[in-house]
């Protein structure tokens, strides 16, 4: 298990005296924190250290400058019996204290979280590997044996530096410094993975425990209902996490600002683009000429019939005036418009072949495909109610630059009731909701 395999250079990771939650990996051994009582400097506080100190106090042994510094437990510049007493206290602490809560371990291989539960169980997440596993531990004296959920067994010694820091020393490797992060003992926070775009226009790649954005790497520490981003310069920001659905979450940062994250998972299957699983046809994403459902889909028709009945009960009449259009039909339509109004004008109201949502079989124009429709009571009814039946007004007013089309109160797109409500409630266009563009590239 990678967690417990620390390279020999791992000692270098524990840089300066641990005052910040993050230490730079590029550090010199000279900067290693002094582990008091560990006279021989092996990051194990045991009887060998006691023997060295005793010999020195009895005048039968010498200490090097480094050993003397570590033996000077109370740091008063003199090595005496008070240091021996301090060392005994340190022994007791190492023998009796079991870590609790959330800790961050650092080595040259990166960082990891360890969650120590009450009792002697816990789990870890390896940041570099993005793996995690549960473990149980048995502790006696300064030794801890870990049994991983995989069945692997590993041994270490533990040496406490102070209440907030301890070392685990794995066999045949340098010690790993653990820093206390939280009393919350166990990971139960949000886990996110994938490529996200925030409403600030930043792209984030999140792997669950690590992330990168704009060339900046950071760790994601999930705890409870919060997530903390820890940057490599040691700065950290914590946000309250709330999830809208599996593709959207919001972090409300400590300074009161909020950042909304949208997962952008673009897959192309048989030439058809799906964003977060939603079939997309717009100016950026085209359908292949061979994509031909041949008519409106069954889901569309069922939902439309339901909506039509509801509108009728309210005294509103809804009819489809243009539903499915094939690639070749759209081609004819568009070319006629270009011949009549020119390409630039045609592009504001008619889609180029392959780019029409009508080719999906999931979109239709209601009553009149003209500005006149927008003045009718049906337009108002449709705008206020269509989401209840799984539709959205695809090209809303004032969003021309985003959707690529002028306001079309008559053009509805079927998304299903759940998604249509989410998009409606967001007040966003489908492009904004999914963080995608609608722009011709040719
Ligand atoms: Zn239309």
User: Could you tell me the CATH number of the domain that includes residue 367?
Assistant: 3.30.1380.10
94 or 208, greater pLDDT: 94
Q: What is the structure's pLDDT at 185?
A: 55
Q: Dihedral of the CA atoms 85, 90, 96, 97 (nearest 10)?
A: 140
* Residue 273 covered by a domain: no
Question: 270 pLDDT exceeds 80?
Answer: yes
Same domain, 427 and 307: yes
pLDDT in tens, 233-264: 778 889 998 988 888 999 999 999 999 999 99
| Cβ-contact 181, 189 below 8 angstroms | no
User: Binning pLDDT at 50, 70 and 90, where does residue 57 land?
Assistant: very high
Same domain, 252 and 367: no
How far does the centroid of ligand 1 lie from the alpha carbon of residue 173, in Å?
A: 66
How far does the centroid of ligand 1 lie from the alpha carbon of residue 268, in Å?
A: 24
The arithmetic mean of pLDDT across residues 259-274, rounded, is 94
**Residue-number span of the structural domain to which 29 is assigned:** 1-187
Boundary of a domain, candidates 133, 162, 187: 187
The arithmetic mean of pLDDT across residues 163-181, rounded, is 85
170 or 261, greater pLDDT: 261
Same domain, 136 and 237: no
Q: Dihedral of the CA atoms 127, 133, 137, 141 (nearest 10)?
A: -10
* Residue 111 covered by a domain: yes
How far does the centroid of ligand 1 lie from the alpha carbon of residue 364, in Å?
A: 6
* Residue 197 covered by a domain: no
How far does the centroid of ligand 1 lie from the alpha carbon of residue 440, in Å?
A: 18
pTM, rounded to two decimals: 0.67
Same domain, 56 and 88: yes
| Cβ-contact 178, 104 below 8 angstroms | yes
Give the Cα separation of 396 and 409 in Å (integer): 7
User: Binning pLDDT at 50, 70 and 90, where does residue 9 land?
Assistant: very low
Q: What are phi and psi of 366, to 5 degrees?
A: -105, 130
* Residue 211 covered by a domain: yes
Same domain, 133 and 51: yes
Instruction: Tally the domains of the chain.
Output: 3
The arithmetic mean of pLDDT across residues 266-291, rounded, is 96
Give the Cα separation of 16 and 24 in Å (integer): 9
* Residue 441 covered by a domain: no
User: Binning pLDDT at 50, 70 and 90, where does residue 24 land?
Assistant: very low
Question: 338 pLDDT exceeds 70?
Answer: yes
Q: What is the structure's pLDDT at 95?
A: 86
Give the Cα separation of 355 and 323 in Å (integer): 15
- Judged by DSSP in three states, 77 sits in coil
| Cβ-contact 414, 423 below 8 angstroms | no
Same domain, 50 and 78: yes
Q: What is the structure's pLDDT at 109?
A: 67
| Cβ-contact 83, 71 below 8 angstroms | yes
Q: What is the structure's pLDDT at 127?
A: 63
Is position 378 annotated as part of the catalytic site? no
207 or 105, greater pLDDT: 105
| Cβ-contact 406, 228 below 8 angstroms | no
* Residue 399 covered by a domain: yes
Buried b vs exposed e over 191-228: b needs ≥16 C-beta within 10 Å?
ebebebbbeeeeebebebbbbebeeeebbbbbbeebbb
User: Binning pLDDT at 50, 70 and 90, where does residue 100 land?
Assistant: confident
| Cβ-contact 331, 355 below 8 angstroms | no
How far does the centroid of ligand 1 lie from the alpha carbon of residue 355, in Å?
A: 12
How far does the centroid of ligand 1 lie from the alpha carbon of residue 315, in Å?
A: 24
Q: What is the structure's pLDDT at 13?
A: 31
Boundary of a domain, candidates 187, 212, 244: 187
How far does the centroid of ligand 1 lie from the alpha carbon of residue 365, in Å?
A: 5
Boundary of a domain, candidates 187, 212, 233: 187
CATH at 79: 2.40.128.280
Residue 264 has which token pair? 């952008």
| Cβ-contact 203, 191 below 8 angstroms | no
Give the Cα separation of 149 and 257 in Å (integer): 40
Same domain, 133 and 36: yes
pLDDT in tens, 199-219: 888 899 987 677 889 888 887
User: Binning pLDDT at 50, 70 and 90, where does residue 173 land?
Assistant: confident
Question: 30 pLDDT exceeds 60?
Answer: no
Question: 281 pLDDT exceeds 70?
Answer: yes
Q: What is the structure's pLDDT at 252?
A: 95
Q: What is the structure's pLDDT at 284?
A: 96
Same domain, 108 and 243: no
* Residue 195 covered by a domain: no
The arithmetic mean of pLDDT across residues 285-303, rounded, is 97
Residue 8 vs residues 4, 29, 97: alpha-carbon distances, Å:
12, 12, 26
Least confident window among 4-13, 49-58, 178-187, 355-364: 4-13
How far does the centroid of ligand 1 lie from the alpha carbon of residue 160, in Å?
A: 69
How far does the centroid of ligand 1 lie from the alpha carbon of residue 197, in Å?
A: 28
How far does the centroid of ligand 1 lie from the alpha carbon of residue 267, in Å?
A: 25
User: Binning pLDDT at 50, 70 and 90, where does residue 6 land?
Assistant: very low
Residues of the chain with pLDDT > 70, as a percent, come to 88
Same domain, 61 and 9: yes
Same domain, 421 and 293: yes
Same domain, 157 and 246: no
Residues of the chain with pLDDT > 90, as a percent, come to 55
Query: What average pLDDT does the structure give for the chain?
Result: 86
Catalytic residue among 121, 408, 417, 432: 408
Q: What is the structure's pLDDT at 89?
A: 87
Same domain, 28 and 154: yes
* Residue 271 covered by a domain: no
Residue 403 has which token pair? 């959707």
* Separation of CA 372 from chain center: 46
Least confident window among 105-119, 298-312, 428-442: 105-119
DSSP conformation class of 63 = -
How far does the centroid of ligand 1 lie from the alpha carbon of residue 277, in Å?
A: 22
How far does the centroid of ligand 1 lie from the alpha carbon of residue 411, in Å?
A: 5
How far does the centroid of ligand 1 lie from the alpha carbon of residue 326, in Å?
A: 13
């Amino acid at each position: 298990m990678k967690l417990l395999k620390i390279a020999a250079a791992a000692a270098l990771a524990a840089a300066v005296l641990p005052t910040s939650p993050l230490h730079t990996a590029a550090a010199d051994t000279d900067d290693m924190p002094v582990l008091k009582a560990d006279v021989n400097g092996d990051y194990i506080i045991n009887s060998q250290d006691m023997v060295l100190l005793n010999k020195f106090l009895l005048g039968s042994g010498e200490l090097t400058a480094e050993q003397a510094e570590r033996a000077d437990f109370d740091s008063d510049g003199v090595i005496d019996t008070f240091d021996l007493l301090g060392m005994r206290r340190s022994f007791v602490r190492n023998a009796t204290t079991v870590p609790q809560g959330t800790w961050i371990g650092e080595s040259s291989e990166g960082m990891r979280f360890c969650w120590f539960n009450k009792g002697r169980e816990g789990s870890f997440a390896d940041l570099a590997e993005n793996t995690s596993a549960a473990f149980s531990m048995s502790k006696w004296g300064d030794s801890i044996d870990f049994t991983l959920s995989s069945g692997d067994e590993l041994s270490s010694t533990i040496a406490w530096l102070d209440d907030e820091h301890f070392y685990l020393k794995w066999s045949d490797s340098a010690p790993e410094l653990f820093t206390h992060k939280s009393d919350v003992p166990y990971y139960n926070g949000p886990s996110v993975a994938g490529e996200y775009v925030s409403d600030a226009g930043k792209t984030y790649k999140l792997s669950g425990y690590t992330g990168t954005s704009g060339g900046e790497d950071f760790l994601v520490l999930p705890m409870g209902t919060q997530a903390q981003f820890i940057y490599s310069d040691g700065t950290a920001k914590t946000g309250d996490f709330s999830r809208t659905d599996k593709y959207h979450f919001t972090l409300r940062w400590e300074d009161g600002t909020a950042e909304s994250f949208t997962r952008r998972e673009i897959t192309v299957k048989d030439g058809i683009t799906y964003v977060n699983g939603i079939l997309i046809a717009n100016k950026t994403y085209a359908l292949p000429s061979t994509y031909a459902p041949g008519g409106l889909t069954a889901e569309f028709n069922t939902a439309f019939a339901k909506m039509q009945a509801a509108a009728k009960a309210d005294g509103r009449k809804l009819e489809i005036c243009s539903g499915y259009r094939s690639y070749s039909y759209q081609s004819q339509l568009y070319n006629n418009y270009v011949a009549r109004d020119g390409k630039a004008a045609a592009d504001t109201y008619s889609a180029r072949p392959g780019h029409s949502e009508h080719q999906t079989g999931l979109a239709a124009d209601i009553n009149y495909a003209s500005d006149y429709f927008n003045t009718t009571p049906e337009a108002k009814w449709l705008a206020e109610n269509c989401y209840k039946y799984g539709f959205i007004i695809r090209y809303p007013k004032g969003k021309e630059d985003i959707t690529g089309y002028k306001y079309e109160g008559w053009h509805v797109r079927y998304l299903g009731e759940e998604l249509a409500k989410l998009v409606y409630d967001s007040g966003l266009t489908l492009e904004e909701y999914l963080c995608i563009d609608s722009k011709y590239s040719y």
